[in-house]
Structures are given as C-alpha cells and as structure tokens.
Amino acid sequence: MAERLLAGSHRSFRAAGLFLFRLERGFGIAPDQLALLATGDPEAVVRRVGTAGPRHGVSNEKLLAWLRALAKDHPLDLADVAPDYLAGRFERLPPDPRAVARRASEIAPDLLAGASNTVESLAEEIRTTGSFRLLWD
C-alpha cells in the first residue's frame, strides 16, 4: 500500500509544498512507515531526518553536499529518507551508470556488502530501473 501511495501521490504532494516519503521499510514483516513534512525541499527532509553514515565518517552535512553535487549532474527524486538509508529515482537515466554507482559506493560502502553486490550490479540496477539508493549499516 505504501508503494502505491508514494507512486501516486509523491509528486502531487511536492507540487503542493509537502514532502511524502517512506521513513522506514517493513520488508513484508511490518508495514512501511510513511511521513509527510511541510516542505517541498528534499534537502530539508534529509536534514530533518538526520540521514548519515557515521561509521564511515559521513555526516548529514557531508551527505547533503554529496547529494547536491550528484543532483547537479543527475537530478533525482528521493522517495525514501531514513536515518541510514536514502532511495529514489533519477529524473533521467545517467549516461554512465557505472560512474554513478562508483560514486555511490564511495560514500556508502555498505552498498557493496555481500558477495553479489558490486559496482557492476549497482550500475545494472541504475541502468535497468533508474533507481538510486544509499545505505549505511
């Protein structure tokens, strides 16, 4: 249900100056938690939630600067903002998904945890779905 609500309403809420996003995924065990903030600015949402990767030296401010630099080259729409996770979709498919995957794995090395998670698999995910994610353990 959360996925349908986000897919159908996220952009409409943003246009109205509100930010609807998934704060926590339940992974089928519990319901996803959605949140709504009175801002259309994703940076304000990331700041308010406090998303960071402290184990890897990624403060909230460092993450925001990194996101600004990425969005300058590859605009994106965040739909999931959690304390240790960000996800969304690129507005246009980046011309070099591998370069974006490499950038993502540098700021969020936990993306590469596990035998099947490589820069190539992240690039393929970007290439085939247009999705974007960062996570810290």
pLDDT at 115 over 70: no
pLDDT at 75 over 90: yes
Q: What percent of the chain has pLDDT over 70?
A: 99
How far apart are the C-alpha atoms of 15 and 67, rounded to whole Å?
21
> What integer is the mean pLDDT of 39-45?
94
> What integer is the mean pLDDT of 22-41?
88
Rounded mean pLDDT of the chain?
91
Please report, for the chain, how many H helices and E strands are present, in that order: 5, 5
How far apart are the C-alpha atoms of 137 and 101, rounded to whole Å?
18
Among 53, 46, 54, 49, smallest CA distance to 71 is for 46
| pLDDT tier, 71 (very low <50, low <70, confident <90, very high otherwise) | very high
